[in-house]
Structure 1
Amino acid sequence: MSAEPDNEAVAAGLRRQLADQLEKGGWLRSREWRSAVEVVARHVFVPRFYRESDGPGITRWEPVTQETVGREEWLRLVYTDATWMTQFDGRDIDWADPKPISNAAPTSSSTLPSLVVRMLEDLDVHDGMKVLEIGTGTGYSTALMCHRLGSGNVTSIETDEGVARQARAALAESGHTPHLLVGDGRAGDRGGAPYDRLIATCGFRNVPRAWLEQVVPGGVILTTLRGWMRSLGLVKLIVSGDSASGWFSEDDPSFMIARQQDGPESLGMIPGPDDGTKRKATYGPSVLTTSGPAFMAQLAAPDARFFSLPVDGGPVGTFVLDSVTDSFAVLTATDSGWQVRQGGPRRLWDAVESAVATWEKYGSPNRAAFGVTVSRDEQAVWLGNPNGPQWPLPS
């Protein structure tokens, strides 16, 4: 009777299959990064995780370990091109007795490998370059960079002490010794600067000034910009002295927002039934959830969030609340379309409709038509070119 193959032998085959899949999909484009995917053992970094259950109703997360699903299925899932959750609500999980989780917000994960390698390819590194990573997470992407560039050229910052501790242990088990820091990634790493490349694996509302100061002229900053309503998308910036500029990618990888920039607990004050002024709305609430218009709405109302509930005991309305300025817009259906009632220092729906109308005027382009310019004093997203229509990012 033949011996059952060990984890590493099975995992090595699964890594080759994953590399084949990522290469066929166009995510993996170079032999150096393919080598990293084939060598770095993702199962060391994701020994236990949660997956979303298929049941109806409220979102429920089920624990996945060797014990709960069996070794073979566990390894198969680890090397699937999928994102696996590893923390909820900023609290460590008791893996001695893991339970299903619901009514919780994921706060750390192992991102799907296709997105990880796509970003690493876009980072355009070369031998000898120094890279600063914002958001260590499980440490898997950190390990890929260590394999490609050497541990001495990789620094990674994680905001959560428990997550950082687990990543440090996994990296050590894998034979990697990057410089690991626990802190606010917005501050970067002044002591290790300058860096040739900076990559952020969480979303930011703007580009921290420290990053501009710590990346060399001609260097690359690769980060996801996002707001409190939605992700704006992945942007690749080229640093030039005290400024940087670049373009969004066409697709929309949506990372969790950096904890230091998460929205305040309070959504803001719900307006009374007689507050504000009314007018007929050109656009209804669907613009907040439809990809292109929602991108524009996020630009136009960077401090807003939205939700739906019955208005004054009547039909459901959509509330758009700005907790920074206490501005509001309330959308309700009428026989002939939509009505908006808005008030406060900013006319939120006026701003949203203006941005969506501009987008339509320019042919309803995808994200790749938009760019970003960042300086010490201001940051803006623009359409077409830096002299085109602009929307400031929140400071």
Structure 2
Amino acid sequence: MTSGEDPAGRRAGLDAAMERERAWPAGSPWVREAFAAVPRDAFAPGRLWRWDGRAYLPVDRAADPEGWAGELFTGVHDAAVTQVRGGLPSSSLSAPAVVTDMLDSLRLEPGHRVWDIGTGQGWTAALAASRTGPGRVVSTEVDAGLADFARGRLAAAGLDVQVVTGDASGGGLPGGGQVDRLHATYAVEAVPWAWVEAVRPGGRLVYPWGRLGHVALTVADDGKSATGWVQGLAQFMADRHGPAPTPTGRAAYTAVRGTADPDTERLLTRDLAPLESDWDLLFALRVAVPDAVLLTGRDEDGVNAWLHDGDRSWAALTARGDGTVTVYQGGPRRIGDDIATAWDEWEGLGRPDRYDYGITVTPDAQWAWQAGPDGPRWPITQPTPARS
């Protein structure tokens, strides 16, 4: 038997790797037990997808069991791509360490009623059901094919989970009423108010926020708001019915810049090296200037940066080798100045880390904040228009 045909061995390896990485949540020991009871591979389709540096290529279990298992058990911080559309991933089995972190943040207890949004292959719904009990989890999936797949895998695992085909972004809990916990598996920039209304006062929502990480909100006693802290960092699949994500990469910057000369040019005294690796800074810039796409590169003069907003505004920050940077900007806004101002603001706040931020949601507005709900804040705008 090859290691690709030995799921028990692979599972044991994953468990040990999670232990080494200290990824098992000490406050939620049930999560480790659930991983053993409803293993990830039991919810994986026979075809996974591997990035070869240029495109996603299929890896079929029947033809290449070793390669398939390698994609599924790559590492505790790696997702396994399960569906590709238009050359881009559209569904995945989330990274094990991220799943454990989100379930820990959810604070699930036996008997809780849960709304799982974004069923995918059904694995997170299965993990939740193993904790809450039969008939306590309802899961919504917009893709009919994925919903059918998940129903089959959940039934095979002997779990009583209701899977509903539909779009959860624009509506409330299937069947009405309220749940104790809401768990979303795809990223949204802004939380649909219907999600908050679906959770009882005192209940929790855990969801991926944009390209930043995941947040846990607690619904206020009067049900008129929800607030909570950033819990962890990871990238997630985006809402399929939200706006298309802003393109990244050098080609996207070039497309926005075009061939026009810069509108402005100025000198800035700044070392751009933190833009390569300071994740707390990058998080703060993303909060303050959410539509900015950042690229970096290094030459003999230091680190350079290129910015754009996916529309018409751009900036190029070119290191001069003497501790200064030339800032070239074009378009209707000065996105380079926006980033420099946000950077200064972050430093003025004492360089807070990513876990010092949170979010408040009300029926009419939502915003990110730092140090507490009454601290500095930045508005969160629901992106429009939605994709059809």
Q: Do they superpose with TM above 0.5?
A: yes
Q: What one-letter code is carried by the residue in structure 1 that aligns with 2:316?
A: V
Q: What one-letter code is carried by the residue in structure 1 that aligns with 2:369?
A: W
Q: Report if the CA contact (8 A) 1:12-1:39 is conserved.
A: no
Relative distance call for 1:67 and 1:366 in structure 2 (3 A) is same
Q: How many residues are matched?
A: 361
Give the Cα separation in 2 of the matches to 1:41 and 1:252.
23
Deviation at residue 382 of structure 1 after TM alignment: 1.4
* 1:332 and 2:294 correspond: no
Aligned to 1:260: 241
Q: What one-letter code is carried by the residue in structure 2 that aligns with 1:145?
A: A
Residue aligned with 1:152, SS: coil
Residue aligned with 1:260, SS: coil
Give the alignment of 1:1-395 within 5 angstroms: 11=7, 15=11, 18-19=14-15, 21-22=17-18, 25-29=22-26, 30-50=28-48, 52=50, 58=54, 61=57, 63-69=59-65, 78=72, 81=76, 82-89=78-85, 104-190=87-173, 191-226=175-210, 231-240=211-220, 241-249=223-231, 251-261=232-242, 262-263=244-245, 269-283=256-270, 289-290=276-277, 291-306=279-294, 319-323=306-310, 326-334=312-320, 336=322, 337-395=324-382
Give the Cα separation in 2 of the matches to 1:318 and 1:189.
42
Residue aligned with 2:260, SS: coil
Residue aligned with 1:297, SS: helix
| Aligned Cα root-mean-square deviation (Å) | 3.3
TM-score, structure 2 normalization: 0.80
Deviation at residue 18 of structure 1 after TM alignment: 4.2
Q: Report if the CA contact (8 A) 2:23-2:100 is conserved.
A: no
Identify the range of structure 1 (329-338 vs 10-19) with the bigger mean alpha-carbon deviation.
Answer: 10-19
Unaligned runs of 5+ in 2: 298-302, 383-388
Q: Report if the CA contact (8 A) 1:370-1:383 is conserved.
A: yes
Q: What one-letter code is carried by the residue in structure 2 that aligns with 1:108?
A: S
Deviation at residue 295 of structure 1 after TM alignment: 1.4
Give the Cα separation in 1 of the matches to 2:146 and 2:275.
33
Q: Report if the CA contact (8 A) 2:218-2:228 is conserved.
A: yes
Deviation at residue 64 of structure 1 after TM alignment: 4.3
Give the Cα separation in 1 of the matches to 2:352 and 2:10.
39
Identity over aligned pairs, percent: 35
User: How far does the alpha carbon of each residue in 1:301-348 deviate from its partner, in whole angstroms, 9 at most, with x for none?
Assistant: 222334589xxxxxx985423246x43323334454322233445322
Deviation at residue 164 of structure 1 after TM alignment: 2.1
TM-score, structure 1 normalization: 0.79
Deviation at residue 154 of structure 1 after TM alignment: 0.7
Relative distance call for 1:276 and 1:159 in structure 2 (3 A) is farther
